[in-house]
Structure formats: structure tokens, C-alpha cells
Amino acid sequence: MDARCVAHLDMDAFYVSVELRRRPELRGRPVIVAGTGPRAVVTTASYEARRFGVGSAMPAVRARRLCPDGVFLVPDFAYYREASREVMAVVRSHVESIEVVGLDEVYLELSGLAVPDATMRAVREAIEERTGLTCSVGIGPSKLVAKVASDAEKPRGFVVLTRAQACTRFAGAPCGLVPGIGPKTAERLRAAGIDTLGKLASADPAELAARFGRRFAAELQRRARFEDDAPVSEQRKVISESRELTFDHDIVELTTLERILGDLVNRLCVALTDQRRAGRTIGIKIRLDDFSTHTRARTLAEPVSTADRVGPVALDLLRRFGTPRPVRLLGVRVAGLEPARAGAEGQLILAL
């Protein structure tokens, strides 16, 4: 194993697994966590449901066609957040330096530990014992290797790889396997005849640079070679907070959109107040029925976090944009977040 050692711990089908804790009678059945509206998407699916082709981010309507006998559950994010806190408390009790990157995954800095593999096995066992949930673990010399390794043998996987071993094991895998190479980039690579990580790693740098630009081409090849020195950061810097809603049916009336925007602003500002954060930039997001997405933003002189300050700005942005076509999605965000100054704003959350 290389001198540096990082682990990535990823919970197995987290939302479904948490649901099964309180609904054990559903174990072994195809369970799908998804919204109920006609435009709802799948949040996650049990491994039994995945055998029918159901996957995350799939439209729930399609999931019902693929798996008509599936058990569909409405997401309960408050319950999932509480379960996540249980898991992360176990992780913190074993390893000091961690980076939480979602409700269900975390990086752990293991460098300097005498037996990192044993530490991670102990973490995994403790999580299952204390929470009843299972996870998969990847260990490597970097966050990149650890991340891909944790996905390799789910569920209950435990994969340890050096960088060289990762290069060999995943040489024939599609480029999109590696974080940072999205679907559009992977498609452009395929169009250039580069459909595996091995081909990308050995591609001619000059030819790659001609298609993607020198800096991006170099980054793509670094990822294909699993070269990564990103640190495990104990605190992620969250620079914005947002709330958005996709409608079951397109909305034309501005007054209806204004009311919905007010609800979104209130939800967002409650979260900002709880987090004691404020931001100077207020923005809205509008997706029309033709799937075009539009954003509008305004930066204020002082950071704000309450609905009586955020709401009027967001409302003015919406009114200025108007409704040229029926609206499919509406969102609001506050960016440039920083710790709120005590007494800078009242704590009252006002409706628009």
C-alpha cells in the first residue's frame, strides 16, 4: 500500500435500508423510494428492484412500468438525516479526520494508522451493530481510488487497491466510472474512439488537447490514471443553499408561482437561520415546459438570511422574468454564504 491511505465508506442503498429498519416485513422485496407526482423520480432502489432495471434518478413512472410489483415509499428525509447522524457518530468514534460528502458517504484519512484495513473493518462492524445498516468500503492511496473501490463490489464490499491495481482493474471500464467525467464528456470521448479508462490513460496528449483543451485534457488523463492528491477536508465549504420544486403540471399563472416561491423562500430561510448562515446573492431558477432553464440573481450590499429580506428580492426577480411559457420547475437560492452576524437580522420568518 502506498504511503498515504484514504478510505471511502458508502452506505448500501441507504434510503431503502433505513426504511427497512422500520418496515422489516419488506426485506427481500423490490422496494423503491420515490415521490408520488407524475414527474417524480426514484431516490434509490433496493438491490431486488435494481434487478428489474430500476435506478436512481429514473422517472418514477418508468420504474413502475419496469417493476409493477415493487413497493413504492415516499421519501422521509428527516428520518434519513437522523439515521445519517447515527452512522457518522460511529465513524467519528473510530477515526479523527473525516470528510462527510452526503448523508450516506464519507472519506476517512487513515494515513499513519498501523493497520488501516482492520480499522475500517471495525468501523463497518460497529455501524451494522449499532444502526442495523450495511456499508461498502474502498481503501486506497487517494480519495479517487477509494471512491471507485467502494463502488466495485456492492453491497457489503471491502476493496483495497493501490493506484497501479486500480489502473489495471478498471482499464476496461467506461470513462464515466471515474468521478469528474460526466455523461457529456464521456460521450465526447466515445465520439473520439475513447470508450475505456485504459484508452483514455494512454491516449495521445496532443490529440486529446486538440479536442478538450490542454488543461482539461490533462485532468482527464490524470483521472484515468487515478492520480489524485485531494486532501480529506474535515469541513466542506458550502457556499450556497437552495430549494426548488418540480411541478406535477406546468404552471402559467404568475400569482400561483409567486405563492409557491414564497413557500420555497420560507423553507430556505428556516434552514439558513438554523445554520446561522447568511448570503449576499439571491437567485431564482426557472425551467420552462420546453426544458430550457433560466436563472436570475442579484447581489446585495449586506448578507441576508430571513424571508422578509430574501423574499422581496426573489419575488422581483420572478416578476421581471415573467412567464413567457408554462413553468415546469421553480427554485430559489442564497449564495456567498458566511456565518451570520449576531443581531444582524431578526429571527422571525415571514411569509411573502
Least Cα distance to 14 among 48, 49, 44 occurs for 44
CB distance 303 to 269 below 8 Å: no
Q: How far apart (Å, rounded) are the C-alpha atoms in residues 160 and 164? A: 12
How many Cα atoms within 13 Å fall on the side-chain side of residue 149? 28
State the amino acid at position 17 in one-letter form.
Answer: S
155 close to 12: Cβ distance less than 8 angstroms? yes
Rounded distance between C-alpha atoms, residue 160 and residue 213, angstroms: 34
User: One of 105, 109, 241, 345 is an active-site residue; which one?
Assistant: 105
CA–CA–CA angle 315, 77, 9 (5° rounding): 120
Give CA separation, 140 vs 6, 159, 252, 295, 297, in Å: 5, 9, 52, 40, 41
105 assigned to active site: yes
| Closest to 7 (Cα-Cα) out of 146, 172, 131, 179 | 146
Q: Long-range contacts for 252-258 (Cβ within 8 Å, ≥24 apart)?
A: 252/323, 252/326, 252/327, 253/323, 254/318, 254/319, 254/322, 254/323, 257/318, 257/323, 257/327, 257/330, 258/315, 258/318, 258/319, 258/352
Catalytic residues: 105
